[in-house]
Amino acid sequence: MSNEVPHSRIDALVRLLGDDDPKIFSVAWDQLEKIGEPALAVLEQAKCEAEDKRVRIQSGRFLKEWSRREVLRRWVAFCRRGEIELERGALLLAESEYPEVDMLAYRRALDGYALVLRNRLATARTTDEAVKRISTLLFGEVGLRGNATEYYNPENSYLNRVLDLKRGIPISLATVFLLTARRLSIPVEGVGMPQHFLLKYRGSTQEVFVDVFHGGKLLTVRDCARLLSDAQVVFHHDYLRTVSDREILIRMLGNLLRVYHSVEDQRRYDRVSAMLKLLS
């Protein structure tokens, strides 16, 4: 529809967002979507000033969904780039659920961790020492830890909420660690092991694996095989290979897809599914 839609028609459609009949509500929502940007100012005013509480709530919901659609457009552009970058992708994923949040603040939080560590790493002679100091900061001082009690809470997969709540699942905690290490040029990589995402680096004599879900605990290949055995998964050395940023983001989206499917959140499931298809 064009920009010439009368203000009175837009206003009437916004008021119908508070209608008890779900069919009328649905028609009003669809018409407002077709009108697009010319309706946003009216919806913004209704969100704050409408007498009907339902209109205020649904106007706010509409505006948030509109913002999420804009984020999805940026995700399309991101996926079409030649190089997929973890930090940009993780923040866009977070913004797809929290479009009103300033994601720049979370880049600054990561910058802050790196700033604190830069002096501490000046005397680190090996990668082993550097990794231990990063773990001390992130898991000891900042307080990041695995959210074992609410493992399937979707907030565990959104970088902003992980940094806010200091809780996450292996892959999201590993992302915080990776993005901090990259700022300091510490050679740490992601490992997409089944059941339990890990990090690894080259130690003085062998590869060392980092279990971020358990406070940065260091593991050997044998320890990794034992973890898989406990989960009744047959060990293969290929499970310990380095994964790309694209693969990390695909796994993060896959985790969310399973969570939203399990709670029958169709709207979020569809959005995450679309993002996953675009990336993979």
Look at residue 4 in the predicted model and tell me its pLDDT. Answer: 77
- What residue segments make up the domains of the chain, in order of their start? 7-80, 86-279
What's residue 3's pLDDT? 54
DSSP per-residue codes, 145-209: EE--TTTT-GGGG-HHHHHHHTEE-HHHHHHHHHHHHHHTT---EEE--TTS-EEEEE-SSSEEE
CA distance 103 to 201: 29
Residue 213 is encoded by which pair of tokens?
Answer: 């879900």
* DSSP letter, residue 138: I
pLDDT, one tens digit for every residue, the chain (280 residues): 445 788 889 989 989 998 889 899 889 888 888 888 888 888 989 889 998 999 999 898 888 888 888 899 999 999 998 789 999 999 999 999 999 899 999 999 999 999 999 999 999 999 999 999 999 999 999 999 999 999 999 999 999 999 999 999 999 999 999 999 999 999 999 999 998 999 999 988 889 999 999 999 999 999 999 999 988 999 999 999 999 999 999 999 999 999 999 999 998 999 999 999 999 8
pTM of the model: 0.86
Tokens of 222: 């044998």
